[in-house]
Chains A and B, each alone.
Chain A
Amino acid sequence: MHKLFIRSFVSSLVFLFTLTVAAVAKDVKAAFVYIGPTGDHGWTYQHDVGRKAVEAAGFKTTYVEGVPESADAERVLRQLANSGHDVIFTTSFGYMNPTNKVAKEFPNVKFEHATGYKREHPNVATYAARFYEGRAILGTIAGSMTKSNVIGYVASFPIPEVIRGINSFTLAAQKVNPNIKTKIVWAFTWYDPGKEAEAAKALIDQGADIIAQHTDSTAIVQIAEKAGVYAFGQASDMDKFAPKAVLTSVENNWGPYYVERVKAVANGTWNQKDTWHGIGDGMVVISDLDSAIPSNVRSKVKKLQADLASGKVHAFTGPIYDQKGNLMVAEGKTADDGMLAGMMTYVKGVEGDIPK
């Protein structure tokens, strides 16, 4: 009797304790700052999918969309930090300096900045995805399926992230088809359906029968659908916008990272770090392959996907030469993260010059 009482007392104590812990954990509030509208079906849309995953995990979230990278970003960040948010995800490169500035004033709030490199205070972490791994998959498909051997690529800005994607794509395509050429059109925008469509048309006119993109709208895949050429979706699965043209998409899957980081804040285990996850960690996801892709290509893709995930294959494995034929990465070596982070030269097989 006595024992039973103690046991039930202890178990109820434990129960109460877990309740309190759970209650404390649930109290954590996360905020997300977006550059575009949540309905862009590209960059911001995918971050919002990630935010919903955080909600589903039982946390409260807030978001502010369409925050320009002008002086306004700082005010929005300060307001979020001031209104009881424990962790703030700033999801565009241009928020880098405001994020670090506001982080200094709010040492108890955690800041997570996407795609930047500045972590000036202990409460600032950075994260990005190894999208170039996804682009190696796209390159493999494109190299196998092109008939004209000309592949078009709509690029946004000449920064290492984009150059790295072009190179990874081209290297993978060359592995399956040494004769391919990658033609680039720079749109100088992340999201502008009009400009992106013009760029895609220009590439199709130059003989490209497959179009890849590093911009966010669905305009390019829709142009490809009309012109009867193939394309790849960006950021989210764009298959429904161009069912015939889209061979597959590289999806940005932020949900698992967001949930993990918000939980870490709740448990008090959050730490400053720089995260760069790829296919293996599930931050980069390849959508379902289109039925137009023949089975031999399909098996090649599946194998590469598994090898990239396990780390058996690196997208930048030597020998890699630049456009002039100089050796960039020696045979048997792979490019390290430092080289990838600062990559500003095209590999052999890419046409044109990087705009300066």
Chain B
Amino acid sequence: MIKIVKRDQPSRAIFFLTPVLAIFLTLVAGGLIFYILGFKPFEALKFFFIVPIADKYGFSELLLKATPLCLIAIGLSFCFKSNNWNIGAEGQLTFGAIVSGGVALLFYEQQGFYILPIVILAGAIGGMLYASIPAILKTYFNTNEILVSLMLVYVSKLILDYLVVGPWSNPEGFNFPETRQFSDSARLPLLFEGLRIHAGIFLALAAVVISWFVFYKTYLGFQMKVSGFSLKTAKYAGYKGKKMIILVFLISGACAGLAGVGEITGPIGQLHREVSPDYGFTAIIVAFLGRLHPVGIIFASLVVAITYLGAETAQIFMQIPKYTGQVFQGMILFFLLASDYLLFFKFKFIGSKK
């Protein structure tokens, strides 16, 4: 007989094993779906997960794709660890891209080493400004940050639409919804000739290191952890909750804003209506799959990034609908949440003698 027993304490080993389990279950379920759709499951999985990164170019594209996901997820982990549910990273990314893009356009005819740092800084500030709205409304007016941050995503996209259609549209561009191309001085430098991977990856790596330090070596990290476990305890301990809420939102917004900068000053090189294929939402999956741990998030961002690349390869070579990539992302999150059950419960085998 099998009995389900509640654990005295969540298991630490299971905590880090469940993401691996979730990925494994996703592969099994994915293979099954391919089989049902009439494709050879192993061949399909090969085109999904191995072929896209089998060469140097493919691997560089993986890093390019993982960079914004990692950066945003690191930012989100500050919020999520401390019980602040910032769902609006996509909006903070968009607003960061708007502000930094605006600055880049100001300098569009100029060259100079000082331009790029200003553009990057502008993006971080833009993201922070935008994230401060749900933070301030939450701390001073008790609003629900999930709703506010989510709704602001759509507002930011409308602002971007307005700007690229109207005042910022390229004067030589026949009124199509796009701005001028940024000058080279406003572009992130490429790391290798012929590959698209750019210096933005160092921003993501820096975020990983800094977040690790803050989480595990600082008083702020400890406060976040306590607030995450129990807001009442945090209050009882005398932590200034409001300050912390605003701080984690600002950090989160800055990271999302920087991800936006990376897209527009990296591979895109201008502002148009679609600066991000919903990185801000996908990064939520990345943050949880990485267990809100900086190192975990690196791996998670790579795993999720490959679902994008794999979906393209699978459609080109096997005519598998590209939208299966999103199915994979959904399955990963689903299996992760489902297997979290094992954190708090365990199966106990009970002998029939008793």
Contact = CB atoms under 8 A, between A and B. Distances in A.
B266 A79 contact: no
Contact of A117 (B174, B263, B308, B313): B174
B222 interface: no
B175 A62 contact: no
B300 interface: no
Contacts of A69: 272-274
Which of B64, B175, B178, B274 gathers the greatest number of chain A CB atoms within 10 Å? B175
A97 B313 contact: no
A72 B276 CA distance: 9
Interface residues of B, number: 38
B140 interface: no
Contacts of A66: 322-323
B145 interface: no
A344 B175 contact: yes
Contact of B175 (A31, A74, A160): A160
A193 interface: no
B316 A83 contact: yes
A157 interface: yes
Interface residues of A, number: 34
Contacts of B276: 70
B258 interface: no
Contacts of A67: 312, 322
Contact of A83 (B57, B161, B181, B317): B317
Given A72-B308, A76-B312, A160-B174, A94 B269 contact: no
Nearest to B266: A71
B266 A158 contact: no
B176 interface: yes
Given A66-B323, A93-B176, A74 B315 contact: no
B66 to A, nearest CB: 13
Contacts of B322: 64-67
Nearest to A69: B274
Interface string A68-91: 111110111011100100000000
Nearest to B315: A64
Contacts of A71: 64, 196, 263, 266-268
B263 A64 contact: no
A299 B18 CA distance: 70
B186 interface: no
Contacts of A159: 174-177
A312 interface: no
B268 A70 contact: yes
Interface of B: 57, 61, 64, 158, 161, 165-167, 174-178, 181, 196, 263, 266-270, 272-277, 308-309, 312-313, 315-317, 319, 321-323
**7 closest A-B pairs by CB:** A71-B267, A68-B277, A69-B274, A70-B274, A70-B277, A159-B175, A356-B166
7 contacts: A64-B315, A65-B315, A72-B277, A75-B309, A97-B181, A97-B270, A159-B177
Given A69-B272, A71-B196, A71-B266, 20 more contacts: A62-B316, A62-B319, A64-B312, A64-B316, A65-B322, A68-B274, A69-B274, A70-B276, A70-B277, A75-B196, A76-B312, A78-B57, A79-B313, A94-B178, A94-B274, A97-B270, A157-B177, A159-B174, A159-B176, A342-B174
